[in-house]
Amino acid sequence: MSRILVLVRHGQSEWNLKNLFTGWKDPDLTEKGVEEAKSAGRKLKGEGFTFDTAFTSELGRAQRTLSLMLEELGQTGLETTRNVALNERDYGDLSGLNKDDAREKWGEEQVHVWRRSYDTPPPGGESLKDTGARVWPYYIHTILPRVMAGGTVLVAAHGNSLRALVMALDGLTPDQIVAEEIATGVPIIYRLKEDSSVAEKRVLAD
């Protein structure tokens, strides 16, 4: 009974590199992002992981990250489920804008609130709380049962959808989670207890 959950944020995207708000837009990975994804796969292989199933979002950068990891793991045929519930937070009217340009338009303080508050959404978009409202039920009803059945489950998703999951798993407050950084291409490994709480957490950083 392994009950292992591994979370990986997609590798660097072209818009991460250009300092743009991405959200539900769908830029590809950069060369660095491709290497980050492959590196994550190699790290997991080096730890001896074999996965029973994988979950990812409807966005290409997360799907490609997953594919690159599975190639390194030698598990390209793995059962994979894609769902919009794991998509990045929707940045609404900010999507596609340069973060510096957004600060010029709305002011440093307002953009900071939109980026880093827990429950204040940008115009037309989602807050982290809103993102969690779709991530948590999907985790509870779809992902968690596979883990609790003794599975080893891989989730390739996004900074904010994974932030919502980490908040629940680690029992963090809204103030704590907005300060939590989730690095691109770095596996976060959870082993769960029989009651679904966390027995152990490890981060496979360089």
Catalytic residue positions, numbered: 10, 88
Helix/strand/coil for 93: helix
Which residues of 75-176 form beta strands (DSSP E)?
80-82, 152-157
Rounded to whole angstroms, how far apart are CA atoms 184 and 205? 10
Beta carbons within 8 Å of 140's beta carbon, 6+ residues apart = none
53-56 and 80-82 as β-strands: parallel, antiparallel, unpaired?
Answer: parallel
What backbone phi and psi angles, to 5 degrees, belong to 51? -95, 150
